[in-house]
Structure 1
């Protein structure tokens, strides 16, 4: 009897610990309300959710109460070209860029530098940070951003990567990358 009770106690602790954990990487796009014509359809199970890609929106939360963003990687430029001829990538490297839209769906002002919380990864798992450079693809994302609840921001974020790297994912986390939740998009 003692062995059974001990086993149940261990199972209970494991179940409680699992229930308190949050997925650190969100790859499925945020669900959207069904259109009127979809009212009779059923949703796919969460395990059947596709990986997020360009154009998909992922909802992330920050470490403080009221911090919540809908984040969409809207476009991808590979390679990205500088808007000023004097700036070029280091030897053996190239620039790539993502156009990102942030919509503040929380109750607190989003005040951060989005590029601090972004990185790209290649097919080998190598990760690369951002560069402060303007590209011909369009206007850069502001580095010191303040977005009130209900407002949005749109801009390009640039990364410097090795010339022969095949970039496969983009990641974003709030709070300059220190938030517990991370959003991830596949690049094809």
Structure 2
């Protein structure tokens, strides 16, 4: 019975991914959201009752994803991806055989409670082979990074770069972000291609 339930969960998860928005791991309850937030122009085109719903596309650079944390919610946008980012100075250089990738995020607290987190802890880039790379403590010339801790009142916004160190030959395919230092059940995912 357990094997049948897990098989059904895998098929259901695959169906959700194929339909576009959210995949959910039945064992842990974790999900990856790839559906961008509807643009204001899309909402203004009509009441939606007479229109057929278009399939939702995967989020890409420039799109906003609404994410739930343990105690608050936020709209998170990947604004820019700078591949082969230069170090901010001679002390910020990648290890031999590696390069820096800097990703600029904007976080807007849409919850009723304060957002308090270290955004770099919940960020990751994923290459075309499916290998994930966590953030790296380095400043780049791409622009200002987030401070170690970000605190936002409801409605507050923060913007900053997060740096990743990846192998020189890796092709970055996706950017991921999870609230609560990555411990929230939901993770946003953006296509870089």
TM-score of Structure 1 vs Structure 2, range by shorter chain: 0.7 to 0.9
Q: Which runs of 5+ in 1 are unaligned?
A: 1-10
Q: 2:42 and 2:162 mapped to 1: Cα distance?
A: 32
| CA drift at 1:54 | 0.5
3-state SS of the aligned residue for 2:141?
Answer: coil
Confirm or deny that 1:29 pairs with 2:36.
Answer: yes
Note the 1:148-187 alignment, pairs <5 A.
Answer: 148-187=153-192
The equivalent residue for 1:54 is: 61
Deviation at 1:70, TM superposition (A): 0.0
> 4+ residue stretches of structure 1 with deviation over 4 A?
34-37
Aligned match of 1:119: 124
Distance 2:30 2:46 in 1: 29
1:38 alignment counterpart: 45
Counterpart residue number, 1:140: 145
Larger Rg: 1
Q: Is 1:104 matched up with 2:104?
A: no
Which residue of 1 is the match for residue 83 of structure 2? 78
TM-align CA RMSD? 2.4
TM-score of the superposition, structure 2-length normalised? 0.80
TM-score, normalising length: structure 1? 0.82
- Aligned positions, number: 170
Contact 2:92 2:139 (C-alpha < 8 Å) held by counterparts: no
Q: Deviations over 1:99-132 (max 9, x none)?
A: 0000000011110100000111101111101112
